[in-house]
Homo-oligomer: A and B are copies of this chain.
Amino acid sequence: MDSTTALAWAKSKFHVEDVIHFQYGSKHNLKELQSVEKIAAHYGVNLNVIHLPFESFQSNLLKSGGEIPDGHYADESMKKTVVPFRNGIMLSFATGFAESKGASAIILGNHFGDHAIYPDCRADFAEAMRSAIALGTYAKIEMLSPFQTIDKTAIAKIGHELGVPFELTWTCYKGKDKHCGTCGSCTERKEAFQLAGVKDPTEYE
């Protein structure tokens, strides 16, 4: 829901041509792919599916790792779901892709509520990466992160105003048929809709 709202926000301001979806062996990768195919079609943008070779990476988020813990993101147990430097890798790849296509910016849906437990979600990381991206490209590609200072509840409100089809979005880390409703990611999604006073269209198990 963060990425889709970021796309809706970007489309409301700029000309957007491409979206990138990364497949990296996560437990929920098939559900994400099905979701992003519908979202790209809805917004009329090119979908680029990129497979990242994370076979040697350790994380419970990956099929190769252990179970996804239940509970809240703040819990220490959620650390197990960190994929090391995932955002750095995705942003770097997106930057190279953008420069190849002659684009001037990349857009990221990270937000303030993004988990102090994940170092590559923090604002200071994002600022350093923003500099590296601008300095490391001819076009001085801009990394836009419109939700850097707001939380997921505010994203639910913005998405609602922009008419985001939230029913197409996927959040659950477990990747079963329906959202589990109990993993850290589902817990946060539910709370965001409730606190925003926006109808949650998600079917939970």
Which residues of A are at the interface with B, using a C-beta cutoff of 8 A?
A: 48, 50-54, 56-59, 82-89, 91-93, 95-101, 119-120, 122, 124-125, 128-129, 131-133, 135-138
Contacts and interface: CB of A to CB of B under 8 A. Distances in A.
Given A52-B53, A84-B96, A88-B96, A132 B135 contact: no
Contacts of A96: 54, 57, 83-86, 88-89
Given A53-B50, A136-B119, A95 B85 contact: yes
A2 to B, nearest CB: 18
Copies of this chain: 2
Contacts of A99: 84-85
A93 to B, nearest CB: 6
A82 B139 CA distance: 13
A133 B85 contact: yes
Contacts of A89: 89, 92-93, 95-96
Contacts of A122: 135-136
A132 B136 contact: no
A194 to B, nearest CB: 31
Contacts of A101: 56
A84 B100 contact: yes
Given A51-B53, A119-B138, A129-B132, 15 more contacts: A48-B56, A82-B138, A84-B97, A84-B99, A85-B92, A85-B95, A85-B133, A88-B95, A88-B132, A89-B92, A89-B95, A91-B92, A128-B128, A128-B132, A129-B136
Contacts of A88: 92, 95-96, 132-133, 136
A125 B129 contact: no
B135 A56 contact: no
Contacts of A50: 53
Nearest to A131: B128
Nearest to A129: B132
B120 A125 contact: no
A120 B100 contact: no
